[in-house]
Structure 1
Amino acid sequence: MYSKIAINNIKKSYKDYTIYFLTLILAVCIFYSFNSIDSQKALIDVKSSNAKYISRLMEMMSGVSVFVSMILGSLILYANNFLIKKRKKELGIYMSLGMGKGKVSRILVAETLIVGIISLIVGLILGMGTSQVLSIFTLKLFETPINEYRFAVSTSAIGKTILYFGIMFLLVMIFNVFVISKYKIIDLLTAGRKNENIKFKNSFTYLLAFILCVVLLGFTYKSILKIGLDTRNPMFKPLIVLSVVSTVLFFFSLSGVMLYIVNRNKNVYLKGLNIFVVKQISSKVNTNFISMSVICLMLFITILVLSTGISLKKDFEAGLEKEAPFDASITVYNNSKKNNLEDVLAKVNFKTSKNEKYAAYNEYLSGVKVGGLLSITDEEHKDDKVSFVKISDYNKMLKLRGKKEISLNKDEVLLMSNYNEMVKLAHGKLKSNKKVNIKGKEYLVKNDKIIEENLGNDIVQDTYLTIVINDEILPKSNKICRSILNVMYSNKNREQNNKKYSEIHENLLNHKYKGLSISDMNAYSKDDIYSSEKGGTTAVLFIGIYLGIIFLITSMAVLALQQLSEASDSIERYKALKRIGANKKMIDKTIFIQTFMYFSLPVTLAIIHSIIAISVVNGEMSKFNQIDIRFSALTTALLFIAVYVGYFYTTYTGYKNIVKNNI
């Protein structure tokens, strides 16, 4: 009997369930898709042959999924609370006809169960389709041929999705039973007659808060553009806090400022139903300014992550060739005659192989500063130090890589840097004058363009500014700052050769050389650097996209539910409008404007925040490589518009139906 009543209730109220169904289906679809990426056979093959980074990605995804389930669980409870609130009168009628609270609770439990099962089935079917698109995207990220793609369904992801959402629905059922047990019949029957009591503060308070908000935002934007992503700067964390505070102040003051501005313009304020629209929007913003602030910040994170994620991944990976020009390298820092490269290699029991070619070089402290060398007054870089490398050592590196060697005249030098900002400064100098001053003597820069590469493998592009000079110019007193042994393999035993350098790296991380009195050192193979970088950037990108989409869906769903809740609360106001002569077209127009404004306010501020943040990220990354975010930005815009329009239209339609059916 209870299940029959529950099914009839769902059929009768299916329009009210639209947002609830849409959110649940999207949540199940996304949850399954991101937890099923390791079911693709091509990725399983990659995992078995290379790396650990696919399995590490899946471990991270599992951890993130727990966090995502908490967000979605909270959202489902929030949506369920809206439905209970809307149906108070109906539930009150059940009780007044003699149905006990226990039986009412059973009906709600049955409804939740039915809705949950339908949402899971539809969401999983859509998720199976969406996961195939995600699998192709994943194969591209891992540079696996698309012809390796096969349709796949992940039973483990299905099980995980059913388990997590089953727990969520169980919590909803418990919540419903608890809520019903607290209600009295009189409260349920009179719920529709109670209007929300909105208290507006003095207009001066709102104006003051709004002015303070604008000043704080302006100061934050200007400061963050200046310091960039320098987390060591003492102002960085306070600026993040200020941006959050100013966002909350914006929505706190917005309702009062809107009323004040529109009220001052009587031609606008008194036109049509504008008085009603402005009051409605202001009251809702005034009530929900905290939630709107949180939504704005979530949307900001979503836009930032989605619009820069793919480009940042490409940027990091574009620098891999510069970071690792050799098959392997061992670097010893702060070298000395008593602890030179050969001694260190002997201490770590390094053995040469017939399948490898070797060449070593030293890098020296020059005593030269960037400002003096390039004749610049840039405060940020003028005191930075420059290093020396002998031309004979540089030619050894070129020969090892199979490149043509370079000869220098006595008065010639080469300039090297792969730090993009320094490259720009150096190119600016070379355009006007190709001569540089080194310790009082002028030298001609032979290369027209700065050589942008590392002279050894590293996890970063670490050639800040290096001068390649003739051997005889370098004073014997110059101290070695580091020595590097570079290695190139033959085509045989590549994995075995990599293992040797990986073991040294692992031993360094585990402090196994602590008792050998070795100065700082590292060991990297090209394959390990590529694997680590691509694995790391892919993991960050996946998690960013996963959370970004969840944040987007959650934000839109909360905005939609708040508007629909407001529609239920405002029925008496719409009845009053109809009594004074407002027709259906006029009422629909007020609903459209309210819904559009309410959806647009947090989105607009989030976009402004994002423009500043993206500029900062681009500026920081352009120091190393030029990045192009057009593809990421376009993809983000299309996804954002699709979700925004879908929720906006569903909300607008639902709002109209609620008003239409009750006036």
Structure 2
Amino acid sequence: MNLVDLSWRNMKRNFRLYTIYFISMLVGVVIYFTFSGLTFNEDVVAAIQNKENYKMVISIASVIVFLFIVFFILYANSFFMKQRRKEFGMYLLYGMKERQVATMVFFETLFLSAISVSSGILIGGLLSKFFGMVLMNLMNYNDDISFAFPLEAILSTILLFALLIGIITIQSYFNVRRVQLVELFHAKEKMDKPFKFSFGLALLSIILIIGSYYTITLSGDTDIWKEHKKETLIATTVALIVGTYLFFRQFSGWVLQKMSYSKNYLIGNKMLWISSLRFSIRGNTINFTFNSLISAVIIFAVGFIAVDYAVKADVVKKEYPNHFAFSTQDDETQKQIEQIMNDSHPIIGHETITGIQSEKIPNRKTFFSYPEYYTEEFYLFPESQLNAIVDLRGVGEKVDLEGEEAIVLTRGLDEPTKYKSPLPELTVLADHTFRVVEKIRYPLLSVPTSPSEESTGPQPSGLVISDEAFASLKENHTLSSYEIYQIKDPNIANDVSRKIYDIVMKTEGSYYSAYVDSYSLNTESSSLVLFSVAFFEVIALFALGSVIYFKQLREATEEREHYAILRKMGVDDKEIKKIIRKQLLFVFLPPLILGLVHSWYLLYYAVILIIKDLPSLTTIIFSVMGLYVLTYVIFYVSSTSIYYKIISGKNTR
């Protein structure tokens, strides 16, 4: 029998042990190929407006995904190498050389990788339509996406995973070289003694966690966060990390210790699973702490980005309500622009507004919280024109002004304000002063944009005055006119925007702003980030769950003899399964609960309380948490099954 045959027989013989390893690599290939495939999918690329930005984000995400996969698979490979040390020792005892054992492992890895890569590319290609549609849906595009197996994506996947196989082979070789024949003569490693737990440290863990939660609840306008933000943030973070570590190291052990002193400790199977857990607390503390903290960070990050995505789309609509707004052109140019719109996006509304530009007014702090975001000149518009725009947009409230009354127009950064007597005065023209009755959040003219960047200058400072006042002033001042259009399907009008922008900006000093320019840059970018981070969450949670999973498989191997003794003592399989379920429930449940509670406090006080008017907010957050719970449930169910098969001797051969 040659090494290839031996490698193939080993794979079939250890199939159940290799299942999670195979699944890990398969998931990695599918996710990487999905990202790589989306980069070269012609349907997706054609639908994306900012193609260079899209390719850059997807490429960066692909690299991050691959690096995460590398570290995770190396961890999985290290686990399997440790599980098979005695097997390798036997090969060496029978006369095989280290190089031959390493070659055998290489062939095993090659077989497994070939199956994983080919299956992953096939599954990834079949899922490309689904993930492409998900991405299009996030961007609110309606383009059809087809199944795709781009040659570039296939080649990059094969090359990168060939590199990974090489790294795994080197790791496996060093693992084989570390195998000592003396290990064959040790039935098992020396067991740790039950760890002694301190009630004081157990109590300290709860105090630290509750204290950090309380400090988080104070975030916002409290003095401690205002005056000592950096120090408070560091102290809260340290308290949460130390509290979580002590919770698993001391508090959970103290609970188990107390349970072992209870009167009914010897009743049923409680003694068996509690004693086993008390021995494993020391070895599991770091894993549990790491899982809880990283899970909290992952859930918070995904929840925060998901909310940011939802909010950003809404903000763009509010801040850029004009589909197109630009300085009035001559009649011929105006007809050319309208023809460009109607060719692909029929015009559904049009208004022309005319304003008076004031001289520069440096001191505008009375009316603007951030005056640097607005032009120093004010643009005065009559109330009738504002009311016409309200009708055109179908959003906002009409105004009714008299005499020298005026309303300041602001953007989302400024809070709406109704002024009380005495009303603040604003002198915008050398010979004219207005009494400002109100400040409203209604951008008549939005921030200037261009198809290649979101903002090209400050937003025009808008002032709405009465029709009578405007009529008396317009004769003696220069007027500026602007065209405001509403069109069909404005979120996919990038090509139209580029053409109109090039025409309008031929005249120096012209104003131009388009909803689609900001929408594309903001919504596409936030959609890509959300799409990428959602995949990161899946990989990360899968990896974190696997860490606990692998740890339990190792403990199952070590405890096989203990369960064999229990069978000889008359404990049947049904009772053994109960013991395993209770033992693993205690392993999976605390990190799950603590991770959820950590993330909930972070999300509630950093997101939910701040953004109260987003209907889908709780749905987004609970969906993210639901995925986390589902991942752990799958690993728990799988672990109990594999654990039982290992201690029963049914996992191999």
TM-score, scaled to structure 1: 0.76
Alignment of 1:115-134 (within 5 A): 115-134=112-131
1:222 aligns with 2:222: no
Q: Return the offset for 1:86.
A: 1.6
Q: State how far apart, in whole Å, the 2-side matches of 1:27 and 1:237 are.
A: 40
Matched to 1:456, the amino acid is S
Shift of 1:234: 5.0
Q: Which of 66, 71, 86 is equivalent to 1:69?
A: 66
Change in Cα spacing, 1:237 to 1:293, as seen in structure 2 (3 Å) is: farther
**2:534 aligned residue:** 545
Residues 436 and 443, structure 1, Cα contact 8 Å, conserved in 2: no
Give the residue type in structure 2 aligned to 1:609: H
| Residue 220 to residue 486, structure 1, CA distance change in 2 (3 Å) | farther
The alignment status of 1:60 with 2:37, answered yes or no, reads: no
- Counterpart position of 1:593: 582
Higher relative contact order (CA 8 A, sep 6+): 1
Matches within 5 A, 1:342-361: 354-355=333-334, 359-360=354-355, 361=357
Code of the residue aligned with 1:273 in structure 2: it is N
Unaligned runs of 5+ in 2: 338-351, 427-433, 449-453, 471-478, 488-494
- Report the equivalent of 1:316: 312
Letter in 2 for 1:496: K
1:176 lines up with 2:164 in the alignment? no
CA contact (8 A) 1:366 1:388 kept: no
The equivalent residue for 1:498 is 501
What is the distance in 2 between the residues matched to 1:202 and 1:464? 67
Tell me the equivalent position of 1:477: none
In structure 1, the partner of 2:202 is 207
CA contact (8 A) 1:422 1:464 kept: no
Q: Distance in 1 between matches of 2:222 and 2:482?
A: 37
State the shift of 1:641 in Å.
4.5
| 2:383 and 2:464 in contact (8 A); partners too | yes
- Is 2:253 the counterpart of 1:259? yes
| 3-state SS of 1:392 partner | strand
Matches within 5 A, 1:526-545: 526-545=515-534
Q: Which residue of 2 aligns with 1:249?
A: 243
- Work out the CA distance in 2 between the residues paired with 1:472 and 1:598: 76
Counterpart amino acid of residue 408 in structure 1: L
Q: CA deviation at 1:135?
A: 0.9
State the match for 1:195 in structure 2.
Answer: 190
| Deviation (angstroms), 1:175 | 0.9
What letter corresponds to residue 79 of structure 2 in structure 1?
F
In 2, Cα distance between the equivalents of 1:575 and 1:502?
Answer: 83
Structure-2 change in CA distance of 1:500 and 1:550 (3 Å): farther
Quickly say closer, same or farther: Cα 1:418–1:367, change in 2 above 3 A: closer
Residue identity in the other structure for 1:41: E
Query: Does the alignment pair 1:612 with 2:612?
Result: no
Instruction: Find the partner of 2:108 among 111, 115, 127.
Output: 111
Name which of structure 1's ranges 354-363 and 249-258 shifts more when overlaid on structure 2. 354-363
| Cα contact 1:397–1:455 (8 A) shared by 2 | no
Q: Classify 1:294/1:259 alpha carbon distance in 2 versus 1 (closer, same or farther; 3 Å).
A: closer
Q: Does 1:161 align with 2:157?
A: yes
Deviation at 1:658, TM superposition (A): 0.8
> How far is 1:76 from its partner?
1.1
- The DSSP-based 3-state class of the residue aligned with 1:611 is helix
Measured against aligned partners, the alpha-carbon deviations of 1:574-632 in whole angstroms (never above 9, x if no partner) come to 34444544332222112112222222222212211221222234347628x63522443
1:421·1:622 contact (CA, 8 Å) conserved in 2? no
Aligned-pair distance for 1:561? 0.9
Are 2:401 and 1:408 aligned? yes
Q: CA deviation at 1:551?
A: 1.0
User: What secondary structure is seen at the aligned counterpart in 2 of 1:17?
Assistant: helix
Contiguous gaps of at least 5 residues in structure 1: 332-349, 371-379, 475-482, 506-517
State how 1:80-99 maps to structure 2 within 5 Å.
Answer: 80-99=77-96
Show the counterpart of 1:375: none
Which residue is 2:640 aligned to? 652
2:290 to 277, 291, 294: 294
CA deviation vs aligned residue, 1:490-546 (integer Å, no higher than 9, x gap) = 9997423324688999xxxxxxxxxxxx9xx99754332122112221222122112
Q: Report the equivalent of 1:101.
A: 98
- Specify whether residues 398 and 526 from structure 1 end up closer, same or farther in structure 2 by C-alpha distance, changes over 3 A only: farther
1:226/1:576 Cα in 2 relative to 1: closer, same or farther (>3 Å)?
farther
Q: 1:327 Cα deviation (Å)? A: 5.4
Note if contact 1:560-1:647 (Cα within 8 Å) is conserved in structure 2: yes
CA–CA distance in 2 between the matches of 1:280 and 1:320?
57
Distance 1:353 1:237 in 2: 63
Amino acid at match of 1:68: V
Deviation of residue 130 (structure 1)?
2.3
Quickly say closer, same or farther: Cα 1:168–1:653, change in 2 above 3 A.
same
1:632 is matched by which residue type in structure 2?
A: I
Q: Percent identity?
A: 19
Structure 2 letter corresponding to 1:313: Y
**C-alpha contact 2:102 2:173 (8 A) present in aligned 1:** yes
Letter paired with 1:260: W
| Structure 1 range deviating more: 462-471 or 70-79 | 462-471
Question: Using a 3 Å threshold, how does the CA distance of structure 1 residues 453 and 358 change in structure 2: closer, same or farther?
Answer: closer
**Which residue identity does 1:256 align to in structure 2?**
Q
CA distance in 2, matches of 1:183, 1:446: 80
Change (3 A) 1:328 1:616: farther
Contact 1:418 1:451 in 2 (8 A): yes
Q: Give the SS at the match of 1:36.
A: helix
**Structure 2 CA distance for aligned equivalents of residues 240 and 487 of structure 1:** 52
CA displacement, residues 348-398 of structure 1 (integer Å, 9 cap, x when unaligned):
xx999943867555696567589xxxxxxxxx99xxx9x997863565566
Aligned to 1:10: 11
1:278 corresponds in structure 2 to: 274
Question: Which residue is 2:346 aligned to?
Answer: none
Aligned to 1:479: none
Contact 1:299 1:552 in 2 (8 A): yes
Alignment partner of 2:114: what SS?
helix
CA gap 1:195/1:57 in 2 versus in 1, 3 angstroms? farther
| Alignment CA distance shift 1:17-1:238 (3 Å) | farther
Mapped to 2, the partners of 1:122 and 1:504 lie a distance apart of: 58
CA distance in 2, matches of 1:237, 1:134: 43
Distance 1:238 1:80 in 2: 41
Tell me the C-alpha RMSD between the 2 structures.
4.5
* Letter in structure 1 aligned against 2:78: N
- CA shift, 1:420, in A, is 8.9
What's the CA shift for 1:560?
1.0
